[in-house]
Amino acid sequence: MGNLSIVTIVIIAANVIISYKGFNDFGFFEKYKFQVGPIQRGEQIRMFSSGFLHADTQHLLFNMVSLYFFADVVISNLSSIQFLLVYLGSLMVGSLLSFYFHKNEYHYSAVGASGAVSGVIYSAILLRPDMDLLLFIIPIPIPAYLFGIGYLLYSIYGMKNRIGNIGHDAHFGGAIGGYVITLLLSPWLFETNLLMIVLLALPIALLFALKKLGKI
């Protein structure tokens, strides 16, 4: 993991350039961030542009470092173009799920590549569920598929309890995007990793069940 391809460099550069423009230009930031009210008035570009803006340097750095570590897993198992489809598709699904959950909150706003990066992470886990991940908060390696399931379960918890100033729904939507797009691009996974496909789908099914029951 961690090799930089041209497409990854371009995505990171776009995030850095657009984010720093937003840091130094309040009008630009306000015009292109995700915000429910303006999107309902027809400014759908915000669904996309918000994925390249960040709240601060720490937010930007965290997302780009996460992308750096997982992008090559997706590229090496798919292709650069398909990786780009996963990234941009996950960004949009993350925004769509945020809009779905907050459509009645006129002033709700969000920024960040977290949805897109979550999609890349979930895609990488689907393609390589046998990977071991070493997290800062857990000093021992854990299987990638357990991390993926735990990540989405925590996102559900965060959405339900509004934990922190974090777009948990965008993270979850991005993961759904990465999951679905990767399966569409790699139908052979149904033969090789069917159990993992089912396991990784469980948190997604749980989210929509809770939404239907009015629990979230």
The tens digit of pLDDT for each residue in 4-40 reads 799 999 999 999 999 999 999 999 999 999 999 999 9
User: pTM to 2 decimals?
Assistant: 0.90
Residue 132: DSSP 8-state: E
How do the domains of the chain map onto residue ranges?
6-212
- pLDDT for 171 equals 85
Specify the pLDDT at position 142: 81
User: Do 119 and 67 meet the contact criterion of CB atoms below 8 Å apart?
Assistant: no
Q: Judge whether residue 1 has pLDDT over 50.
A: no
Task: Answer with the residue of higher pLDDT: 141 or 176.
Answer: 176
Nearest C-alpha neighbor of 63 from the set 190, 210, 152, 166: 166
Neighbours of 86 (CB within 10 A): 30
Segment 157-167 shows an average pLDDT of 68
Q: CA 101, CA 98: separation in Å to the nearest integer?
A: 5
- Of the ranges 55-69, 95-109, 152-166, which one carries the lowest mean pLDDT score? 152-166
Q: Which CATH superfamily is domain 6-212 in?
A: Rhomboid-like (1.20.1540.10)
